[in-house]
């Protein structure tokens, strides 16, 4: 009887594996048709999945768990982002193949080792409980695994195989939600849930990303950890360091108020704030896809026709304003109902915070558009002081507003930071456009003479 049941189970598992492989192959074929749409779908599902994780923790756990999870993300994100140096973007645009895949992977792993040492030091030296410190380290491990996958994504992007990226992100996103929900429901322990997510992400790295990388024969031998070209790594580090600074400052602008809120009001209010603030990411996903699709054409127009470049930037800015205003109107008219539906009744009491977050989103979308225009015009150096000034103002106002106004103060700090970033970006872009117009006009006059 037992052997008969085992044979039946083996037959069922074989059928499930067969249908799963066929369905995933069909999915990959569909995704391969359009690099942009496949990348957008992957990013969208992954973003929704990250939000569903917060929802699952709030529904299956409690608001304090949401605060613990958000605090761990707020601590790990700036460190990981800085030491990532945006290597994927640099790698994907390395058209001259100045650096090998091994160079990118070696630098990434070296920086991630430093990042984990920093996270261990923060966990030991800070006054966090042992439970909270372990959650920080667990989330840090998950982000480290994700950062290694990111280098493989850079290779796939360079080879224009966005379907590999999309499949990995979809699998990672859905797998994360399922495993965290199941483990949290079973154990009521956030540490167990985040630990299970680390295992899932590691399995996806090994059996999806590394396996797909092996399809590129010319890159296969470059992943061996032999003696690296130290000079190449040094040059690569110098080239990408400013990108790391910008990414870190961007993360800090959003996370500085959370640090203050956790210290002043505790993890419960941080949980409410983080759940509400995550909604602005939904519009950010759409904006990101729109700007990524428009960046190549903006770059070409900047060098060929500055008038059309300016016209395109104005059109994209108008779209970003429309999306931001729509978010504000929705939060003002249906915010309480949306928060109650997405989380629970307690969140609905903080609709005023939701409205302020949506106002901050409006400035965020506009400043992102202006920042994309600066990047397309290759004036990246302007972005470091822009983010630095915005970050300093957020820090100063967090000292003043959050102890007095709690979550409302945190939301106002984000508004100040995003508005500052938008205003300075506007003046920098105006300067770039005027200088470029003057340069081209001078070239025409010289050519006529």
Per-residue model confidence as pLDDT tens digits over 248-266: 888 788 889 988 998 888 8
The band of 440, judged by pLDDT with boundaries at 50, 70 and 90, is low
Residue 200 to residue 176: CA distance in whole angstroms: 7
Q: What is the pTM of this model?
A: 0.69
Classify residue 209 by its DSSP letter: I
Would you say residue 15 has pLDDT above 50?
A: no
DSSP character at residue 208? I
Is residue 283 within 8 Å of residue 327, measured between CB atoms? yes
Distance in angstroms (rounded) separating the CA atoms of residues 385 and 402: 25
The phi, psi pair for 214, rounded to 5°, reads -65, -10
Euclidean distance between CA atoms 417 and 375, whole angstroms: 20
Mean pLDDT of the chain: 81
Mean pLDDT of 427-437: 86
Residue 253 contacts residue 414 (beta carbons within 8 Å): yes
In this structure, are residues 90 and 240 in contact, taking their beta carbons and an 8 Å threshold? yes
Mean predicted confidence (pLDDT) in 358-372: 92
pLDDT at 162: 74
Residue scoring higher pLDDT (345 or 229):
345
- CA dihedral over 252, 326, 340, 181, signed as positive or negative: negative
CA 334/CA 176 separation, integer angstroms: 30
Percentage of residues in the chain with pLDDT exceeding 70?
81
Give 293's pLDDT tier (boundaries 50, 70, 90).
low
User: What integer is the mean pLDDT of 136-156?
Assistant: 91
Rounded distance, CA 255 to CA 277, Å? Answer: 11
Beta carbons within 8 Å of 410's beta carbon, 6+ residues apart: 257, 258, 260, 261, 273, 398, 401, 402
Provide the H-helix boundaries in 305-350.
306-342, 345-348
Dist CA 175 CA 45 (whole Å): 11
| Of 162 and 57, the one with more pLDDT | 57
What's residue 236's pLDDT? Answer: 83
Helices and strands: H and E segment counts in the chain: 17, 0
* Average pLDDT, integer, range 390-409: 93
Which span out of 24-28, 83-87, 384-388 was modeled with the highest average pLDDT?
Answer: 384-388
Is the pLDDT confidence value at 273 over 70? yes
Higher pLDDT, 267 or 326: 326
Q: How confident is the model at residue 233 (pLDDT cuts 50, 70, 90)?
A: confident
More confident residue, 170 or 292: 170
More confident residue, 333 or 280: 333
CA angle 308, 314, 319 (to 5 degrees): 130
């Amino acid at each position: 009887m037992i052997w008969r049941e085992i044979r039946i189970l083996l037959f069922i598992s074989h059928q499930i594996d067969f249908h799963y492989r066929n369905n995933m192959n069909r999915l990959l074929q569909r995704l391969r048709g359009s690099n942009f749409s496949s990348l957008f779908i992957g990013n969208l599902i992954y973003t929704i999945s990250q939000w569903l994780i917060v929802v699952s923790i709030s529904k299956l756990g409690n608001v304090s768990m949401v605060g613990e999870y958000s605090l761990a993300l707020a601590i790990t994100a700036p460190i990981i982002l800085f030491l990532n140096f945006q290597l994927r973007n640099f790698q994907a645009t390395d058209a001259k193949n100045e650096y090998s895949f091994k160079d990118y992977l070696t630098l990434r792993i070296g920086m991630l080792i430093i990042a984990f040492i920093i996270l261990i030091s923060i966990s030991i030296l800070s006054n966090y409980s042992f439970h909270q410190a372990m959650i920080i380290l667990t989330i840090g491990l998950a982000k480290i695994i994700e950062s290694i996958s990111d280098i493989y994504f850079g290779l796939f992007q360079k080879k224009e195989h966005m379907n590999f990226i999309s499949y990995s992100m979809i699998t990672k996103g859905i797998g994360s939600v399922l495993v965290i929900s199941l483990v949290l429901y079973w154990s009521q322990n956030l540490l167990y849930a985040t630990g299970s997510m680390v295992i899932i992400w590691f399995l996806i790295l090994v059996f999806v990303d590394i396996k797909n990388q092996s399809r590129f024969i010319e890159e296969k031998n470059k992943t061996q950890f032999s003696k690296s070209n130290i000079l190449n790594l040094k040059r690569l580090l110098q080239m990408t360091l400013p990108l790391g600074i910008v990414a870190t400052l961007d993360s800090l602008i959003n996370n500085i108020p959370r640090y203050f809120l956790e210290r002043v009001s505790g993890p419960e209010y941080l949980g409410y704030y983080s759940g509400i603030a995550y909604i602005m990411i939904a519009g950010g996903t759409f904006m990101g896809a729109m700007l990524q699709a428009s960046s190549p054409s903006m770059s070409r127009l900047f060098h060929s026709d500055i008038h059309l470049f300016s016209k395109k930037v104005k059109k994209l800015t108008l779209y970003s304003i429309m999306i931001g205003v729509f978010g504000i109107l929705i939060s003002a008219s249906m915010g309480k109902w949306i928060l109650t539906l997405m989380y629970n009744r307690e969140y609905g009491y903080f609709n005023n915070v939701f409205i302020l977050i949506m106002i901050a989103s409006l400035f965020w979308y506009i400043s992102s558009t202006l920042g994309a225009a600066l990047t397309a015009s290759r004036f990246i150096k302007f972005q470091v002081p822009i983010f630095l000034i915005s970050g300093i103002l957020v820090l100063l106002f967090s000292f003043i507003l959050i102890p007095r106004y709690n979550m409302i103060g945190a939301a106002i700090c984000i508004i100040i930071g995003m508005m500052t970033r938008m205003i300075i970006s506007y003046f920098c872009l105006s300067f770039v456009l005027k200088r470029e117009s003057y340069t081209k006009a001078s070239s025409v006059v010289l050519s006529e003479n």
